[in-house]
Amino acid sequence: MAKKRRSGKSGGKGTAPPAESAVSPADELRDLLERAIEQVLANMDKHGWSIPLCLAHSPNGERIYVVAESSDPDAGYEPQKHVESILAQVKRMIQNKELRAIAFARNINVTVSSDKGPVESPAVKVFLDHVAGGGSTAYLLYHIEKKKAKPDELFYKELEERFFPSPTRRGEAAE
């Protein structure tokens, strides 16, 4: 279930930067990344855990929150089903040309190398993609201190699979 929300700072009151603005896809993805990480860490601080979430921008700049669909309000929380529900909706919305940029975030545990050898760390994993290209996967490692999530390190990896179709170059025919 996608929910449109009119709140925020960029692009005027209540919307993301308009499609025709001078904001680059990289800047738009950076803004979505910051907002997604902020929301996940706020959920960690408040509840001790965070549900998967997706923040997106429509082609005309509206901010959209994509949340998991649930047909049974009494059903227990199943993280993988929420992930699958959100990703299915995002893919459908992209196919229908309803989105131009996405940040899909979830809380995970990762193993990282350290001076002491491999160490397990909580992290926020964020898939970022834009209709114009430039997607990546971001990881924010953090630790809990006095029941608060404290950011440690942010790093990026290549996005394994794009959500949006690859942009065509001038002179190329779309498949």
Residue 165 lies in a domain: no
- Average pLDDT of 16-28? 73
Q: How far out from the chain centre does Cα 160 lie?
A: 15
Three-state secondary structure string covering 64-112? EEECCCCCCCCCCCCHHHHHHHHHHHHHHHHHCCCCCEEEEEEEEEEEE
Q: What own/partner pairs with CB < 8 Å and gap ≥ 24 does 32-36 have?
A: 32/56, 32/57, 32/101, 32/102, 32/103, 32/128, 33/103, 33/126, 33/128, 33/138, 35/8, 35/103, 36/103, 36/104, 36/105, 36/124, 36/126
pLDDT in tens, 37-76: 999 999 999 998 898 999 999 999 899 999 888 766 677 7
- Average pLDDT rounded to a whole number, residues 141-153: 95
Structural domain contains residue 58 = yes
Whole domain around residue 12: which residue ranges?
2-71+78-158
Q: In the predicted model, what is the mean pLDDT of residues 105-120?
A: 93
Other CB atoms closer than 10 Å to residue 32's CB: what's the count?
Answer: 26
Round to whole Å and give the CA distance between 111 and 122.
Answer: 9
Domain assignment of residue 52, yes or no: yes
**Would residue 100 count as lying in a domain?**
yes
Contacts 24+ apart (CB under 8 A), 137-146: 138/33, 138/37, 139/110, 140/37, 141/110, 141/112, 142/41, 142/44, 144/44
- pLDDT band for position 11 (cuts 50, 70, 90): very low
Predicted local distance difference test score (pLDDT) of residue 58: 96
Which pLDDT value is given to residue 88? Answer: 95
Residue 173 lies in a domain: no
pLDDT score at 78:
80
16: in domain: yes
Percentage of residues in the chain having pLDDT higher than 70: 81
pLDDT of 170: 56
How high is the mean pLDDT of the chain?
85
Rounded Cα distance between 120 and 106, Å, is 16
167 in a structural domain: no
Residue 87 within a domain: yes
Q: What is the pLDDT of residue 173?
A: 52
Structurally, the chain folds into a number of domains equal to: 1
DSSP symbol at 62: B
CA distance 148 to 46: 8
